[in-house]
Chain A
Amino acid sequence: MKHIISMLMENEAGALSRVSGLFSARGYNIHALTVAPTEDDSLSRLTLVTSGTAQEVEQIVKHLNRLVDVVKVLDLTEGSHIERELMLIKLSATGDLREEYKRLADIFRGDIIDVTTTTYTIQMVGQSKKLDAFIDALDSGLILETVRSGTVGVLRGEKCLHV
């Protein structure tokens, strides 16, 4: 099963490589990983998507907690949460396709954010599944480039991940 693991870590050089190194050393999967500073300069927020049995994911969380630079770890998928991913997708868009892509982007609530005579770049935000569905709706031969941010997420309601 897919798990979204979110953590706060010290904003120190090498902290990211400690996390990624742990995953490669112990043979755990990383499907996506995203990291950026928070409103507190001393902390970074890292979100990663992994998969495994409940026992494996429990072990992953324990090992992440053991890293000295990691302050707090939370498996978002254990509770009610919101997840989002950003995608930029560049399409070859000529002739009738231009109108078709415009309609399709509207249906998926995407925005065309760059236009040339032969291409569209569409920005789309949503759960990863929705972005997958959009890609599936396109002729893959006409996709020029896909960039995805990886999933980020927060707990629903007043619960927070904080120090």
Chain B
Amino acid sequence: MEMTGAQILVNYLEDEGVEHIWGYPGGAVLPIYDALDTDAKKVSHILVRHEQAAVHAADGYARSTGKPGVVLVTSGPGATNAVTGIATAYMDSIPLVCITGQVATSLIGLDAFQEIDTTGITRPIVKHNFLVKNVDDLAITLKKAFYLATTGRPGPVVVDIPKDVQTAKSNYAFPQEVEMRSYLPVTKGHSGQIKKAVEMMLSAKRPILYTGGGVILGDASAELTELTHKLGFPITQTLMGLGAFPASDKQSVGMLGMHGTYEANLSMHHSDLIIAIGARFDDRVTGNLEKFCPDAKIIHVDIDPASISKNVLVDIPIVGPVKQVVTEMLANLEKTKLKSDEKALAAWWAQIEEWRATECLRYDTMGAKIKPQAAVEAVWKATKGDAYVSSDVGQHQMFAAQYYPFDKPRRWLNSGGLGTMGFGLPAAMGAALAFPDEIIVCVTGEGSIQMNIQELSTCLQYGFAIKIICLNNGFLGMVRQWQEFFYERRYSMSYMESLPDFVKLAESYGHVGVRIDNPKTMTAQLDEVFSEKYKDRLVFVDIITDQQENVYPMIPAGAGLNEMILV
């Protein structure tokens, strides 16, 4: 059927099964917005207030649902505003397709109005990108974009479409198949390696499972849980992996890394075998590489060969999808006659329980000021631990990760890799759109929330009933903490002056504002925020917290996992 490029795009998205597009119109995408008006039947468009938020929202949608997020922005500033969002998704391997308008092909390279080299700017922060110069290539390019974004190690893909390609006509038929000789994602791990890995697991005396975001991206939570139970080993999860294995299970020793638990980091450090699954030995996890886990052999399962032996040399590398590899491990465990060393494991657990007994996440509960930890715990109780929780970046992010234990995957939405302030609110919008009947919480700080505060307007327009928990300590808390520890308490530019009255601000956007500044009333106030009364309302909860509070435990930069600061 003959149609314009813009119509092809809209019809393609419908045929691909895309339900929502996050975007913002502009000159170079006007034909597409017109086609959305004339041709869209199922796909809905959500109008954000800033392109960065469009990408974060699509990202939050993708993280919470597992489906690719779709973004539509204009050329020039539309594309450059989207860059931070794209980089955020890239660092955390989130599947996104970002459609950017471009000036007409005849104007490319002439410094035209709102022209920017979008494919050039985004090249280092995408899985792949395309500039579509011929309308006949549009449908197959879109097919490739979705295929690339969602298979293998997922990631964002940018499709840049010049305005004249949007108006040129071509015949459209939905491409059923796509084949790329240069892109063949691995579908199966090496059976010999898997067998060897299982043998190594069963002969270990002090083993630990170390799992990351790859388990969630690979939808392998159930398989991982079964494997962990079958092995009886301790499991620690990265910031990105929280929820893949239930935090409330006694085999979980919590998060590891810079702000990980005492028991998780010491178990890693003293282990003789690390079974890394869908994790990438990030510097925030390993600390000083020279001091990293001196006695451990390492099995590493990852879909991306470039992640293996990148930071830490590995003994048994297994390249493949986590779900398939873990399933095959389970089958091997079923068959093998080998038995794990129960006596050694019992001794190992006894040691771990001793570490766990230090209760490293304890904090002062008697003071007159609200502790941020207490606020997060109160939110956890009020939501029965079953909310979708997004966060921004800083101390509140770590408090949320430590004090809101997740029992299910895809509940915890945070920018772990890039560490993008301003991520939380739009990411929560993505989850709110996908799960209108669930509780959606955005844990943020007074610094981060101001980086995309304009989205309160989008939330009103689309009825996103997000509960914003703003841990307001009047400081860029994590910056302040580092200045206290490492810069002799010179708090250079980390104090937030001239803050708005967030309660009034929320009200002026048409939402509900609540201030909590008394630890005695906090629980009751939060219970009301999460009650039926505000079920359909966005509530901005401004919680005034203790300015001096720090995130503990902490591994200072350059130290090993066994060199934690506990209080």
Contact = CB atoms under 8 A, between A and B. Distances in A.
Contact of A68 (B119, B131, B183): B183
Contacts of B310: 59
Given A68-B183, A71-B182, A21 B124 contact: yes
Given A18-B123, A21-B123, A25-B124, A10 B182 contact: yes
A70 B182 contact: yes
B118 to A, nearest CB: 11
Contacts of B127: 68
Contacts of A68: 127-128, 148, 180, 182-183
Nearest to A55: B309
Chain B interface size, under 10 / 10 to 19 / 20 to 34 / 35 or more: 10 to 19
A130 interface: no
Interface residues of A, number: 20
B206 to A, nearest CB: 27
B180 A58 contact: no
B304 to A, nearest CB: 7
B181 interface: yes
Nearest to A22: B124
What does DSSP make chain A's interface, helix, strand, loop or mixed? helix
Nearest to B128: A68
Contacts, number: 39
Given A25-B124, A58-B309, A66 B182 contact: no
Interface string B124-146: 10011001000000000000000
B123 A17 contact: yes
Given A55-B313, A163-B181, A17 B306 contact: no
A9 B181 CA distance: 10
Interface string B453-465: 0000000000000
Interface in B98-134: 119-120, 123-124, 127-128, 131
B113 to A, nearest CB: 23
Nearest to A62: B306
Interface string A59-70: 100110110111
Contacts of A10: 182
Contacts of B131: 13-14
A68 B180 CA distance: 9
22 contacts: A10-B182, A13-B131, A14-B119, A14-B120, A14-B123, A14-B131, A18-B123, A21-B123, A55-B309, A55-B313, A58-B309, A59-B306, A62-B305, A62-B306, A63-B306, A65-B306, A66-B304, A66-B305, A68-B148, A68-B182, A69-B182, A71-B182
Closest 4 CB pairs of A and B: A62-B306, A68-B128, A71-B182, A62-B305
Given A62-B305, A68-B183, 9 more contacts: A9-B182, A10-B182, A14-B119, A17-B120, A17-B123, A55-B313, A66-B306, A68-B148, A71-B181
